[in-house]
């Protein structure tokens, strides 16, 4: 890299990374030349990995809990163990707690300190989850924030706000919508949105299985 240009964004020390960047691109060129990889394949993998750990894991957990009462019990008892049954886990799922919505209790999750999030089941947090207004206001005025998300809760429903930490992370288990009797687990999982597992939305029975 051209040292003359370093002043433009030059608050960093000289970049030892540039040597590694050159090595990486040389290696990539070699692999492409040998026909072992293609640039498109690498692009596709990076793209895939950015979206791989997604809320689909959590949706499968919820759908299983909806269809299998024994699993639901195990999930509420020890979520870390229960999600491991489905092959989900990892360091940051160590202390996962599942909190079930009921006709009288609605749960919602926040991390007031930073952006702790149960990523093994929900993937990467949405940007609003990390935003200071969400973090502050969800504790102070949860009903108002939920209304902004389009979720109007009857006044007799108690709202419980769960503050995540590095030690404990929460997964909301929403209520199974009416009119989904007989749906397959896959069809059910398809209507469990990320937001419904954070608690800023509820699943709606629409679309599949017609």
Partner 1 sequence: MSAQAGGGAPGAAGAPGGAARLAEVDAALAGRAALPRDNGELVFEEPWQGRALGMGVALLARTGTSWAEFRRHLVAAIRRRPHDPGESAATAYYAAWLDALEALLAER
The catalytic site residues sit at 111, 114-116
Give the residue with the Cβ less far from partner 1, 52 or 77.
Answer: 52
Q: Which helix (H) or strand (E) holds 99?
A: strand 96-100
How do beta strands 96-100 and 105-110 pair?
A: unpaired
CA distance 123 to 13: 33
Residues 21-40 that bind partner 1 (CB under 8 A): 21, 23-25, 27-28, 30-31, 36-38
Per-residue contact flags (x/-) with partner 1 for residues 50 to 69, judged by CB under 8 A: x-xx--x---x---------
Figure out which of the listed residues 76, 86, 168, 175 binds partner 1, where binding follows CB under 8 A.
86
Looking from the CA of 18 toward its CB, the CA atoms found within 13 Å total 8
96 Cβ contact partners less than 8 Å away, ≥ 6 residues apart: 79, 80, 83, 118, 120, 121, 169, 170, 171
Figure out which of the listed residues 6, 76, 80, 84 binds partner 1, where binding follows CB under 8 A.
84
Tell whether residue 136 is a contact of partner 1 (CB under 8 A): no
- Smallest distance, partner 1 to C-beta of residue 147, A: 28
Looking from the CA of 115 toward its CB, the CA atoms found within 13 Å total 14
CA distance 58 to 125: 13
Q: Which residues bind partner 1 (CB under 8 A)?
A: 13, 16-17, 20-21, 23-25, 27-28, 30-31, 36-38, 41-46, 48-50, 52-53, 56, 60, 84-88, 90, 92, 114-117, 119-120, 124-125
């Amino acid at each position: 890299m051209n040292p003359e240009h370093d002043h433009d964004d030059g608050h960093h020390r000289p970049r030892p990374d540039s040597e590694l960047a050159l090595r990486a691109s040389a290696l990539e060129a070699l692999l492409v030349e040998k026909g072992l990889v293609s640039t498109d394949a690498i692009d596709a993998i990076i793209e895939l990995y950015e979206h791989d750990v997604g809320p689909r894991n959590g949706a499968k957990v919820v759908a299983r809990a909806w269809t299998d009462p024994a699993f639901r019990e195990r999930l509420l008892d020890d979520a870390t163990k229960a999600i491991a049954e489905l092959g989900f886990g990892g360091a940051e799922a160590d202390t996962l707690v599942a909190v079930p919505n009921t006709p009288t209790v609605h749960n919602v999750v926040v991390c007031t300190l930073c952006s702790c999030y149960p990523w093994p089941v929900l993937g990467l947090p949405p940007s609003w989850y990390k935003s200071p207004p969400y973090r502050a206001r969800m504790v102070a005025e949860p009903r108002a924030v939920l209304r902004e998300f389009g979720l109007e809760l009857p006044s007799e429903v108690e709202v419980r706000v769960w503050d995540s930490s590095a030690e404990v992370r929460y997964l909301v288990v929403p209520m199974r919508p009416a009119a989904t009797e007989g749906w397959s687990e896959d069809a059910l999982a398809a209507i469990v949105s990320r937001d419904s597992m954070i608690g800023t939305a509820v699943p709606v029975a629409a679309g599949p299985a017609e």
